[in-house]
Amino acid sequence: MFWQEEIEVISREELQRIQLYSLQETIRRLYYNVPFYNQKFRDVNLKPDDIKSLEDIQRLPFTTRDDLRENYPYGLLAVPREKIVRLHTSSGTTGKPKAIFFTKKDIDQSAELIARCLIMTGVKSDDILQNMMTYGLFTGALVMHYGAEKVGILVIPAGPGNTERQIALMQDFGSTCLHLTPSYALYLAEVMDSKGIVPQRDLSLRRAYLGAEPYSEETRIKLENMLGIDIYNSYGLSEMNGPGVAFECKYKDGMHIWEDNFLIEVLDPDTDEPVPEGQEGEIVLTTLKREGMPLLRYRTKDIAKIIPDTCRCGRTHKRISRIFGRVDDMFIVRGVNIFPQQIERVLMGIKGVAQNYQIHLEAYDKMTVKVEIEQDFFDGNIEKLLALKSRITEKLKSEILVTPQVELLEPGTLPISEGKAQRVIDNRNL
C-alpha cells in the first residue's frame, strides 16, 4: 500500500533527475539568501552554476552542528522571518540548542513524509495512534502528529510518562499503534508485565514505531515478543525535520530514506571520502525540498550503511541499516573503541536480562555495566545468579574485547527513561 505510489516507486533515473533539479535550486537559494552559505561558497570559489551533476555535491562545503550553533537563532534562514510558522530545537550536550525553522510548506512536506511512512507499515483509516513522544520543542511528537492526521487516523496526543495512564488510554480507546523511544518501550513492557497485563489479550496494539535513539535488533525482538506487536524502526533528526527521514516498510529490513527530500552520502568520518555502498560510514544529508532552512551536506555523526539491493516492497528509495552509533558516542576503555550499542545488543540477547542497563566509566581502564535482571534471579539461589553474571561478562568480553565489571540489579533500580535514555555515565576526568 502506498501513500503516493508514483514517487515511492519512481525509477532511479527519474529520481536522480529530480534530485539534481532540487539540489541546484536549493544551492541557488542558499547562495543568494543565506550569508553564511554565500561566504562558504566564496571560500571555495564556487558559484551555483558550477554544480552540474549529483557527483558535484562533493565540491560543496559541509554543514556542522557548530555552524548551527554559531548562527543561532535566525542566521540560517533562507526566507524572510515572516514566512516561518514553527520553531523546533534540538539540545546537545553542550552550549546553545540548535534552532530549526519550518515554513507552512515545510510543515506540509514533513507531514507528507510521515504519511508515506505510516501507510508503508500498513496503517489504515481505522488505526489509532498513541503518540508517546514529548510534545514541545522536540520534533518527535508534533511532526508525527501532523503526519498521522494527514493520513486521517485518530491521534491520541498522550506525550510521555505516567505509564499507568498510558495503559489506561490504550485500554479505553483501543490504541493500535504506539510512537515512543525504545528505552521507554522497554519500561512500558516491564510495567505491563508487572501489572499482569497481557497486551495480546488485553489490548488492541498492532504495531509500534520506535526511534530517536539507537537500539539493537535484539531489543526489537525482545519487545516484539513482550508486546506481541510489530516494531518498526524510525530514523530522523531535528535538523532534517525530525522523524520521517527514513522508516522501515513491512519487511523490516532497513529503513527507506526518502531520497526525493534528502540526498544521502555515506562518508568515511576520518577522510570525508564516500565509502562503497554496503560499507559503514557517517551519514551526511542534504535537504532537497526545505524552504525555511535548507541545509547542505549536514554531518549527522550517525554511523550506518546503505543496503545495496532493492527492496521487495517495490519502493525504489534506498534503505539504510540500523544506526550503529554516533561518531561521538564511542568511548575508549583500555585502548579499545566501544560503542554503547554493542553492549546493548549483547545484553538484550541474553535470557534473564530485564529491560534496563547503564554503562559507568570510572577510569581509563574501568567500566561497570549495571544491568537489571529478572526478579526470579533474586530468590536466594546464589549459584544461579553467579552463573548469569559470568554469562553476561563472557558475552560482553567476546563482543567488546575488554572485561567489564558487571553489576546485577533488581528490576526498577536504575533510573527510568520516558524520552531518550542516558546509557553512559562518564565519571572519568578526561
What are the backbone angles phi and psi of residue 102, rounded to the nearest 5°? -125, 135
Q: Is 281 in the site for ligand DLL (CB under 6 A)?
A: no
How far apart CA 20 and CA 379 sit, in angstroms, is 64
The answer to whether 211 touches 121, Cβ cutoff 8 Å, is: no
Nearer to ligand DLL, 147 or 236 (CB): 236
Smallest gap from residue 25 Cβ to ligand DLL (A):
25
DSSP string, 307-352: E-SPPTT---S-EEPPP-EEGGG-EEETTEEE-HHHHHHHHHTSTT
Which range touches ligand DLL (CB under 6 A), out of 79-87, 217-225, 236-244, 353-361? Answer: 236-244
Nearer to ligand DLL, 237 or 408 (CB): 237
Smallest gap from residue 54 Cβ to ligand DLL (A):
23
Smallest gap from residue 298 Cβ to ligand DLL (A):
10
CA distances to 34, 61, 65, 166, 346 from 39, in Å: 9, 10, 17, 50, 47
336-395 positions binding ligand DLL, by CB under 6 A = none
Nearer to ligand DLL, 130 or 238 (CB): 238
CA distances to 140, 267, 383, 398, 423 from 285, in Å: 19, 11, 51, 34, 26
How far apart CA 273 and CA 286 sit, in angstroms, is 16
Helix (H) or strand (E) holding 103: strand 98-103
The three cell numbers locating residue 363: 577510569
Smallest gap from residue 324 Cβ to ligand DLL (A):
9
Compute CA 327 distance to the chain's CA centroid, rounded to the nearest angstrom.
14
Q: Is 129 in the site for ligand DLL (CB under 6 A)?
A: no
Q: Is 219 in the site for ligand DLL (CB under 6 A)?
A: no
Q: Is 243 in the site for ligand DLL (CB under 6 A)?
A: yes
Kindly tell me which residue out of 212, 295, 338, 414 binds ligand DLL, with binding defined by CB under 6 A: 212
Strands 424-426 and 353-363: parallel
Q: Is 237 in the site for ligand DLL (CB under 6 A)?
A: yes
Residue with nearest beta carbon to ligand DLL: 211
The three cell numbers locating residue 368: 561497570
Q: Is 223 in the site for ligand DLL (CB under 6 A)?
A: no
How far apart CA 106 and CA 162 sit, in angstroms, is 32
Kindly tell me which residue out of 147, 160, 199, 236 binds ligand DLL, with binding defined by CB under 6 A: 236
Q: Is 89 in the site for ligand DLL (CB under 6 A)?
A: no
Smallest gap from residue 284 Cβ to ligand DLL (A):
12
Smallest gap from residue 257 Cβ to ligand DLL (A):
12
Kindly tell me which residue out of 37, 235, 339, 377 binds ligand DLL, with binding defined by CB under 6 A: 235
Which DSSP state fits 275? P
Smallest gap from residue 231 Cβ to ligand DLL (A):
11
Q: Is 265 in the site for ligand DLL (CB under 6 A)?
A: no
Q: Is 294 in the site for ligand DLL (CB under 6 A)?
A: no
Sequence-distant (≥ 6) Cβ neighbours of residue 128 within 8 angstroms: 153, 154, 155, 156, 173, 174, 175, 176, 177, 204
Smallest gap from residue 242 Cβ to ligand DLL (A):
4
The answer to whether 274 touches 265, Cβ cutoff 8 Å, is: yes
Total residues contacting ligand DLL (rule CB under 6 A)? Answer: 20
List interacting residues with ligand DLL (CB under 6 A): 90, 133, 139-140, 211-214, 233-238, 242-243, 300, 302, 323, 326
